[in-house]
Amino acid sequence: MKAAVVAASVFAALIALLFGTSGPDPDSVPTAEEVAGRTMSPFCEGLTLNECPHSKSTALRAQIESMVGEGATNREIDEWMARNYGIASQGRPGAGLAWLAPPALAVLGLIAVIAVIRGRKAPPTTESPSVELSDADEARFNADFQGYTRGSE
């Protein structure tokens, strides 16, 4: 029960963090550096425009710098990038629910780990149980054991 409360609290905190953060003001004019730092390069998979060494990325950064110089807003630049290079250039999921998948999976993983840990049984003890043998059983055991040790010589 305590684990469920902790997991729910972590999930609520992740959602609050997720919705509490916002991207750049869509109506403000950014710097070319800001745009290149948040925009994924269509020429170097997995890299932003700032990181991509490809010559086409250099030309695209110059184009963005020109747009910024003309007073283009974040929204206008993002829309231009999406039209010309696809929505993936923005480097973020388009749907709001897509942002919930990573924290939800993290919380579910945490719950699974807690369930596995709680479900584990204590390791067996290494002590052998003490057993009281009757005199007849002890005599039979000793005879069998002597026969066994003679056979292994």
CA 35 to chain CA mean position, Å: 26
In this structure, what are the phi and psi dihedrals at residue 59, rounded to the nearest 5 degrees? -65, -40
Position 116 confidence tier, pLDDT thresholds 50, 70, 90:
confident
Q: pLDDT over 90 for what percent of the chain?
A: 24
| Residue 145 domain flag | no
| Residue 73 domain flag | yes
| Residue 42 domain flag | yes
pTM assigned to the model: 0.49
pLDDT in tens, 75-101: 999 999 989 988 888 877 666 666 677
Q: 107 near 18, Cβ under 8 Å?
A: no
Residue 114 has pLDDT above 60, yes or no: yes
| Residue 6 domain flag | yes
Return the HEC string of the chain: CHHHHHHHHHHHHHHHHHHHCCCCCCCCCCCHHHHHHHCECCCCCCCECCCCCCHHHHHHHHHHHHHHHCCCCHHHHHHHHHHHHCHHHHCCCCCHHHHCHHHHHHHHHHHHHHHHHHHCCCCCCCCCCCCCCCHHHHHHHHHHHHHHHHHCC
| Residue 100 domain flag | yes
| Residue 56 domain flag | yes
Cα(72)–Cα(49) distance, integer angstroms: 18
Do you know the residue count of the chain?
A: 153
| Residue 133 domain flag | no
Q: What is the pLDDT at residue 2?
A: 67
| Residue 137 domain flag | no
Q: How many domains does the chain have?
A: 1
pLDDT in tens, 50-80: 999 999 999 999 999 999 999 999 899 999 9
- Residue range of the domain that includes 100: 2-119
